[in-house]
Every structure is written in structure tokens, then in C-alpha cells.
Structure 1
Amino acid sequence: MNPRYKSNKKWTEFPVDLTSGISDIFKQNFKTQLGIKTEVHVSGRFYEKEILVQVGLHKKGELRYNNFEVSLDHKNEPDKVIEQVYLAVDAVASLLLDYFENEDEIQLPYTWMEYPFNDQKVWLQFSTENPELKDAADRLLGEADDSLLKEIDEEESADILDATEEEFDEFSKNLEPQMFKSKNKKEDMH
């Protein structure tokens, strides 16, 4: 899930109760179209200038997801955030309705495309990325981040480059190999 604005570097994930509530809405309203083999996965991010919502449909046994994403401009007005999230949910629901009614004929945007919706501008995008595989790869590579505020690595790498020589020397004294740190060396390899 990539933001529309490349300048957006920091984000906060939607709370779990919000994503599960949104997921329940889609499961109830599209019960017939989803059937028993399709799972609904919802995620969302709050950026400084943008709200991003992704609703992924995943058929059991398949690697591919059908992800319907919507992006809205956000002006850092806390009292309007939930209203904007609901607008994003309505936009995705509208896109899903079109998708299910015209599955063979619909042209889905693979890059952010602007659309008018309820007297506002929304941006829609479709992807087939499997977020579970991506998360598993991030964990394996040590890139998983459980903090509340997430940040793109560019800033971290820039901070390291900006460090003085003394800071680097101090930093390097405390480095230890991570791969064979525990006694169960064989377990660390798998």
C-alpha cells in the first residue's frame, strides 16, 4: 500500500477495531458476492496529508489478492477524520459494487486515478499485492516495525549518514553479529 504523495514519510495504522468494523461492513453488504471462499482484509493509514484505505479480497488457496485502494486528501482536522474514513469506505464499496456487477468488463486503475465522489475528489487504485506475503518477507528480513508511528527508511538512512565520526565509532563498538547470537544457531537459520 503506497501513498499518493511521495512526500508522505510517516504514518499511523488504523486501529484494529476500526479495520475490523470496516471489514464487517463489507462482509455483510457483499455476503452474496463474496461467498464462503473469499476473505476480506482491511487496512488503512493516516498520513499527514492523506488518508489511505485498502480493502483486499482473497480467495482461499490463491496467492493473489484483489486490493481496492482509496486515497483522500487530509487537512489534519481531527474532528473530520472519521467522516473522511467513512467517505473512503463508501468509495471502495462503490468500486466493489461496479466490480461485482461488471467483473469481466470493468477497467480498474493500476495507478492513482482521480474520481469525483459525493462532491469530493477521491483517488482510486487497484493492486494484486499479497500483504501477508509482504509482511512475512519484512519479518524475515528484519524490516517489520511494530511501533505506532511508522516511517519510511529513507529518513533513517539519512540520519545514519549525518552521524559524526565519533557517534559512528561509539555505535560500531556496540555492534554484535545478530545471526548467531543465541545458542540455538541452527534454529536461527530457519
Structure 2
Amino acid sequence: MAAEQHSAERYDIVAVASSAGGIHGLGVLLGALGADFPVPVLIVQHLDPRHRTVIAEVLARRMSLPVKLAEDGEHAEPGVVYVAPPDRHLLVGPEGTLSLSRSELVHFLRPSADLLFESVAGAYGPRAIACVLTGTGSDGAMGVDAVKSRGGTVIAQDPATAEFKGMPEAAVGTGAVDFVLPLEEIATVIRGLVETERQ
């Protein structure tokens, strides 16, 4: 149903949120998207701000897509994975321009999935896909509501299959989730949505 209701639109961005257990989850999801994935992917993974992060290098070893830490003011390019740096909120504007912010913590978190999803909803509306993977807490739940209310599509990892079920369970609890899927099936659905709209 979700794909039908957006038949006039095409998907132009994917935003993914994860926390505890997320490096493995992101590796599985992003690794299965394939080298020719045609839209940008924005990632919020909760990281310890006290340490230099190697998440981009770790994820890059598991997939064929280029992975980098997002930089303030850069343009999100198709087929590139952008990861929010530690202690920075990642936001996106209407033209795909990324911005990083040190604004206040949201639910004690920076970066915040809620802020990323809300910016994606505002900038892309029905052309956005938001996905919540494993993690503790409820970050992302307000954001998926925003994405859904603007006509976007929301996917959550099946909490029963998540290493940590807090975040996907909170997302599902909003009633805004279109697909609840085991981790291994999420990439196939995302590819199907994005590529169907491009045929």
C-alpha cells in the first residue's frame, strides 16, 4: 500500500537511526543495498563523543557504497552514506544540503534521530524513507511520526529480531510504521521502493 500511495512521487533520500547494536545492524542493511543504490543515505548512530570515531571506516569495509562522516554545508550525493559525527546533530535541507549542529541535546542525545527524521520530513515529505534499527531508548519515535505525517514511508526492524528492541519498539508503538521487518529483509524492501519509483 505504501508504494502505491506514492506512485506520483519518487523516493530521494533514506534516513536510518540506530544505537546499541547498530554497527552490526548498519553493516547488514547498508551492505545489502548494493553499489548502484541511487539515493543518499543519512545515518544517526549514537556514538561516544569522547572518542574519535572510526565508524565510517568500519562500515566502509562491509559495503560497496562510499561511507563518510557528514560535513557541514556539503550536498548529499546519490549512492553515498553520510554518518552524523559524534556530538553533532545531522540535518538536511530541501536541496539536500547537510548541516551539523551543536544545538541542545534531545532526550540526552546528540546526534538525535528525531531531529534528523524531522528535517528529512520537512525537506523531502513523501519522497523520504525513514528506518529505525536496534537501539535502547525511544530516539526516532517522534521523528517517524513526522515522516509519516508528511507522506513519507517508515520502516522498523522487527523488535523481536533486534539486539536491543527499545528504539524499534518505540517506533512501532507510534502507529506510523509501514513495514516491520527482520534486519535481513529491510534492504530488499528499501531497494524495491526506491527502484520501483524510478522505472
Q: Same fold judged by TM-score > 0.5?
A: no
Taking structure 1 as the reference length, the TM-score comes to 0.27
Greater Rg by CA: 1
More helix by share: 1
More strand by share: 1
